[in-house]
Amino acid sequence: MNLKTHQLSAAVFWLLIINLLLTPPLPAAGEEGDIYSKVPEKMPEKMTPLDCARCHYDIFMTIKNGKGAHRFPCMDCHETFHSFRRGMKYEDVLPKCTECHDYPHGKSPDMTACKTCHQKPHAPLASLDIEQLLPFCGKCHPGPAGQLKEHPGSHSKLSCNACHNKYHGNIPKCTNCHGTPHTKYVDNKGCVKCHPAHMPQDVSLPSNVPNNICAKCHPEPAKILAGSKKAHSKLHCVFCHSYKHGFIPKCQDCHGVPHPQSVIEGFKGCLDCHGNPHDLELAGEK
Ligand code: HEC
Ligand code: HEC
Ligand code: HEC
Ligand code: HEC
Ligand code: HEC
Ligand code: HEC
Ligand code: HEC
Ligand code: HEC
Ligand code: HEC
Ligand code: HEC
Ligand code: HEC
Ligand code: HEC
């Protein structure tokens, strides 16, 4: 026996051993029983969605967890199924959204590719993804988008999703970002009556704003007004500073010309004699 044949027979020996180890034993009859001694449960003639779900588990669960309006029997949408064959187009055996819905957002090319936004046909609302939606917000919501654009302020620099985050339709609290606002936060309604959400810098003042809100930032005139005994002290700041924040009325807007020309001649204005509008002490009255 030369060295070569010795090596060869050793290799053959080990191959045989490995082969033995890897080969599974033949099923010993009787151990698991003869599978053909049993009869399988037949798929029912008319399958229910639960039957479909035995194979299409994920789809069933998507519909179930989506909690949307598509929770009706599979076959209502899939009148035919398991009909896909070689040479066919896959999408031709599947239902089309437009068969039931037409084109709810119009026929512009952006809006006809339903699955760009409704990513899962079986849970069309739950699968709306706000990142995918972002390029289209303004198409469906021209009002907010227009305000942000036409009234450039700090909010215009933010993406829609910086505020409407997490899921489509989510409304943020102002205090998510404005931790300690200048008035007490109760709800957004309290803020947006002066600051429309999409153009907050364009402050509009309702006619019933209490003076203490203005006093926070304008303590001086507020103090003077509150301490005055004259008729103006009964008025709301916004009765005079109406319409827009920062608006300054003219005395004549309300009083016309109350004195004969001869009385006021030589004076620059009403305040020469009436002092401060928030106080109205005539010169020398105190
Ligand atoms: C509201 C209608 C509707 C219902 C209900 C529905 N489907 Fe579908 N299904 C569709 C549409 C539409 C598509 C095709 C989506 C596409 O174009 O990709 C589809 C695609 C499929 C597909 C192939 C694509 C994939 O996602 O694998 C399977 C499989 C399927 N559905 C199974 C089911 C089963 C099972 C049920 C019930 C548990 C069911 N469907 C309920 C509308 C429906
Ligand atoms: C025994 C398993 C099984 C059951 C039960 C079953 N399917 Fe399928 N189905 C498959 C397989 C496998 C495919 C091909 C691979 C795939 O697309 O997932 C398929 C594909 C599909 C498709 C896409 C392709 C086509 O040809 O239509 C639809 C739609 C579908 N099934 C709907 C249903 C519906 C509805 C039911 C219940 C009425 C159902 N299936 C029950 C296994 C099953
Ligand atoms: C076989 C008919 C059918 C098909 C196909 C179908 N739907 Fe529906 N869909 C309905 C019905 C019925 C409702 C519930 C009534 C309604 O809102 O019109 C519904 C509701 C919806 C809703 C509303 C809200 C909710 O709670 O889920 C959306 C969104 C929707 N479908 C999107 C789609 C999309 C996207 C497709 C294609 C991937 C599609 N549908 C395919 C029948 C269908
Ligand atoms: C650009 C993204 C986008 C595309 C593309 C899109 N949708 Fe929608 N769809 C939405 C959003 C967002 C809603 C609003 C959901 C809500 O009410 O909260 C919606 C709502 C719906 C609704 C329920 C409310 C309604 O208006 O009737 C249906 C049904 C619907 N879409 C079907 C479709 C169908 C069918 C297509 C394709 C022809 C489609 N969508 C394409 C984003 C889209
Ligand atoms: C700085 C945060 C912020 C940004 C940025 C923002 N929003 Fe809003 N949005 C809000 C708040 C807060 C409300 C609730 C306002 C209210 O209660 O009156 C709201 C309300 C809405 C509403 C429902 C009420 C309405 O006015 O129609 C829509 C739709 C909307 N936003 C869309 C958008 C879109 C689209 C964009 C981007 C173009 C956007 N928003 C950018 C904070 C924001
Ligand atoms: C395909 C049209 C469509 C697109 C795209 C779309 N929306 Fe909407 N959106 C709707 C519809 C429809 C409603 C529900 C109708 C309603 O309540 O006014 C809605 C509701 C909302 C609401 C809640 C309104 C309320 O009063 O509670 C907000 C906020 C909103 N969308 C913001 C956005 C933002 C931000 C984007 C982009 C990331 C966006 N939407 C994209 C159609 C759309
Ligand atoms: C996602 C964060 C965010 C939310 C939510 C938010 N804001 Fe702002 N807002 C900002 C930022 C950032 C600025 C600019 C820096 C600053 O003043 O803090 C700003 C500025 C402002 C300004 C100053 C005017 C301007 O254009 O600079 C007002 C007023 C304002 N926000 C009011 C509101 C009100 C009211 C709400 C709720 C309806 C709200 N904000 C919700 C982020 C937000
Ligand atoms: C009565 C009207 C009114 C109400 C209600 C109101 N604000 Fe203001 N807010 C103003 C005025 C006026 C200014 C000053 C604007 C300027 O500087 O030109 C202002 C300024 C701001 C500013 C920018 C300056 C600063 O203080 O940082 C922010 C942010 C702000 N408000 C947020 C809010 C929030 C959040 C709420 C709700 C909790 C709210 N505001 C409620 C009238 C109001
Ligand atoms: C958050 C602080 C803040 C609040 C609240 C606030 N203001 Fe102001 N206000 C300012 C600032 C800052 C200015 C100066 C910058 C400007 O012109 O916008 C100003 C300017 C004014 C001016 C113009 C002053 C001038 O010299 O031209 C008037 C008038 C005024 N505010 C009245 C009010 C009234 C009335 C209220 C209550 C409804 C109010 N403000 C609430 C901060 C505030
Ligand atoms: C009867 C009408 C009237 C009422 C009420 C009133 N104001 Fe004035 N206010 C004026 C007039 C007029 C001027 C302009 C005075 C001038 O031309 O120098 C003025 C000026 C101002 C100014 C700018 C000059 C300054 O004094 O700083 C501020 C700020 C102001 N008012 C805030 C307030 C606040 C805050 C309140 C409520 C606490 C208030 N006003 C109530 C009429 C009024
Ligand atoms: C937005 C309207 C408005 C403006 C602007 C206004 N007033 Fe008046 N003023 C009133 C009202 C209302 C009264 C109370 C009238 C009454 O009781 O008959 C009043 C009362 C007065 C009185 C009587 C004081 C008293 O206690 O009897 C004087 C004086 C007066 N105003 C001067 C002025 C001067 C000066 C200005 C400009 C600096 C001015 N007013 C601006 C609405 C206004
Ligand atoms: C030369 C000083 C002087 C000038 C200028 C002046 N007033 Fe007077 N005004 C008076 C005096 C004095 C009274 C009477 C004292 C009082 O009733 O408190 C008075 C009274 C008033 C009254 C109360 C009248 C009433 O019937 O109760 C009003 C309102 C008034 N002035 C508004 C104005 C207006 C508006 C201007 C500017 C167009 C103005 N005044 C300019 C000195 C002046």
Q: Tens of pLDDT along 45-88?
A: 889 999 999 999 999 999 999 999 999 999 999 999 999 999 99
User: What is the distance in A from the centroid of ligand 2 to the CA of 172?
Assistant: 42
Burial tier of 243 (Cβ tally within 10 Å: 0-12, 13-18, 19+): exposed
C-beta neighbour count of 283 within 10 angstroms: 10
Closest CA to 69 of 34, 100, 113, 35: 100
Distance CA 127, CA 195 (A): 33
> Which amino acid would we find at residue 130?
I
75 Cβ below 6 A of ligand 11: no
> Which amino acid would we find at residue 45?
E
Q: What is the pLDDT, as a whole number, of residue 1?
A: 42
User: What is the distance in A from the centroid of ligand 11 to the CA of 248?
Assistant: 14
C-beta neighbour count of 238 within 10 angstroms: 19
- From the CA of 241, the nearest ligand is 9
Closest CA to ligand 9's atom 21: 246
Closest CA to 214 of 237, 193, 232: 237
Place 254 in a pLDDT band, splitting at 50, 70 and 90. Answer: very high
- From the CA of 219, the nearest ligand is 10
- From the CA of 62, the nearest ligand is 1
Cβ atoms of 67 and 126 closer than 8 Å: yes
Q: What pLDDT digit, counting tens, does each position of 202-248 carry?
A: 998 998 899 999 999 999 999 999 999 999 999 999 999 998 899 99
Q: What is the pLDDT, as a whole number, of residue 24?
A: 58
With a cut of 90, say whether residue 151 has pLDDT above it.
yes
With a cut of 80, say whether residue 25 has pLDDT above it.
no
Burial 154-163 (b: 16+ CB within 10 A, else e): ebeeeebeeb
Closest CA to ligand 9's atom 9: 246
In whole numbers, what is the pLDDT of the chain averaged over residues? 89
With a cut of 80, say whether residue 33 has pLDDT above it.
no
Q: What average pLDDT score do residues 197-201 get? A: 97
CA quadruple 142, 144, 146, 148: dihedral, nearest 10: -150
Q: What is the pLDDT, as a whole number, of residue 5?
A: 53
- Total count of residues recorded for the chain: 286
Distance CA 197, CA 164 (A): 12
User: What is the distance in A from the centroid of ligand 4 to the CA of 188?
Assistant: 27
